[in-house]
Amino acid sequence: MRPDPASHSPAPGVGSLPVGPGDQGEAVRDIQHRLTALGFDVAGDESGSYGPATESAVKYFQEQRGLRVDGICGRDTWSSLVEAGYALGNRLLYLRQPMLRGDDVGGLQRRLSSLGFDAGRIDGMFGPETGRALEDFQRNAGLTVDGVCGPATLAALERFGSRREGAASTVAAVREAESLRRAPRTLVGLRVVVGQGGGLDALARALARRLTHAGAIATVSLHPDGSEQAAEANAAGAHVFVGVELDPDDARSTTAYYARSDYESAGGRHLAELVQDRVPGCLGVKDGGIRGMSVPALRETRMPAIVCEVGPATVVVERMEALAAALGAALAVWRTSPPT
C-alpha cells in the first residue's frame, strides 16, 4: 500500500487538457495505457496517436462512467480514468483534504454500507461520512479506531463480508428516502440552489424568482464549473440543486440525476422524471429522457440534484418564463409527492 496516495488532479504528462482526436504525444500514450489497463481496446491506433480507436474507447469509457460522451479526454474524463485505476487495497484510505477519490473509495463505501454502516452516498469520495462509518466499523470489529483503511481493516471487512447481495446502497438510499418523506409538503422554506454554467443566467434568475415568490429560499450559482456549483450548494445547506444547461444545436430536453452502477439518488431520479414530464412539452422539443450520470455537479452535491439540458437557444429564450414555470411546477410536485 502507498501511505501517501497521489491526488486526482492531472499528471504532468497530461498537463494540457483536453486531449482529443488528432493529438499525438506522451499525453495520448498515457491515456491509451490507462484505457488498456481498464480493458478498453485502443489497438487500432498507433501508440501516442489519438485516432478512431482511442476516440471510440474514450466514448465507451465515458458512457460506462456516467460522463458526457464526446470522445474527448477533458478534465472530468481524465480524473475518472485516474480514479478507475485504484482498486481497494492499493493504498491507504483516510480522511484528508483534498479528499481521496477513486474506485477503491467507492468499494470501501459499498462494503461499509452493506454491513449497515452509513458511509453516505456511494460516490468514490472519502468524506466525513465515510470516515465516521469506517471508525464505527473498526470500533465494532475490535480494531484500532484510527479512521485509516489499511490491511487490518480490509481483512476484517473480508472476514465479515456483506449481509446480503445487492445491499450496498441500502443505508444511504433509505436515509435519503426517509428525509424526503419527512420533509414539509410545501415549497416554503425549501433551500434551492439553481446553477448554470453559461448562457442561461436569465433562466436561472427567473426560476429563482418564482421559487422565492412561492416561499422557497432560492439562490443562483453562475460559476461555469460544476464542482464550484456543487460546493456553493453544499455550503448553502441546500435541500435540492437544480442545474440548467444550454444545448445550442439540439431541439430537445434531457435531465440527468446522480447515479453509478452501485447507487442512484432516488430523490434526484424522481425530480428528473417530473421535469421531463413538463419541459419538453413546454418548449415543443424532443423528449430526450432522463439519465443517471456522475458529472461533478451531480456527484459532488450532498443533496438530491438534477441537471436539465435544453435547446435550441432561440426556443429557450422565446419561452423563458414558461420554462421557469415548468421547472418550478416540477419542484412543487416533487416536494409534495416524494418517491415511494
pLDDT of residue 170: 66
Q: What is the pLDDT of residue 1?
A: 56
Burial (CB < 10 A; 0-12, 13-18, 19+), residue 152, is: middle
pLDDT, mean over the chain: 92
Same domain flag for 50 and 111: no
Total-model pTM? 0.90
pLDDT at 86: 97
Prior bond to 339 cis, omega within 30?
A: no
Q: Which one-letter amino acid corresponds to residue 90?
A: N
Output DSSP code: residue 305: E
Does residue 193 form part of some domain? yes
Does residue 231 register a pLDDT over 90? yes
Q: Is the predicted pLDDT of residue 154 greater than 50, yes or no?
A: yes
Whether residue 128 sits in one domain with residue 258 = no
Last residue of a domain, one of 52, 84, 116: 84
- Please say if the pLDDT value at position 74 is more than 50: yes
**Strand pairing partners for 149?**
93
Over residues 64-89, the mean pLDDT reads 96
58-94 burial code (b ≥16 CB/10 A, e <16)? bbbbbeebbbeeebbbbebbbbbbbbbebebbebbbb
| Cα–Cα distance measured from residue 76 to residue 208, given in angstroms and rounded to the nearest whole number | 28
* Count of other CB atoms within 10 angstroms of residue 304: 26
**Residue 162 has what pLDDT?**
52
Q: How confident is the model at residue 4 (pLDDT cuts 50, 70, 90)?
A: very low
CATH of the domain at 311: 3.40.630.40
Top pLDDT among 175 and 169 is at 175
Would residue 93 count as lying in a domain? no
Contact 223, 287 (CB under 8 A): no
> Which residue range is the domain that position 141 belongs to?
103-177
pLDDT tens string 276-289: 999 999 999 999 99
Show which of 132, 161, 177 is a domain's final residue: 177
Residue type, 180: L
**pLDDT for position 161:** 77
Q: Which residue has the cell 464549473?
A: 225
Instruction: Give pLDDT, residue 174.
Output: 79
Task: Extract the C-alpha cell encoding 71.
Answer: 470522445
Residues 171, 58 share a domain: no
Note the pLDDT of residue 197. Answer: 85
pLDDT tens digits along 14-38: 568 899 999 999 999 999 999 999 9
pLDDT of res. 88: 96
Question: What is the mean pLDDT of the segment spanning 85-99?
Answer: 97
Long-range contacts of 55-59 (CB under 8 A, 24+ apart): 55/20, 55/21, 58/31
Q: Is residue 59 located within the same domain as residue 107?
A: no
What is the CATH classification number for the domain harbouring 126?
1.10.101.10
Same domain, 265 and 331: yes
Q: How many domains does the chain have?
A: 3
Cβ-Cβ contacts under 8 Å for 105 (sequence gap 6 or more) = 86, 93, 124, 125, 126, 130
Q: Say if residues 299 and 251 touch (Cβ distance below 8 Å).
A: no
CA distance 130 to 119: 4
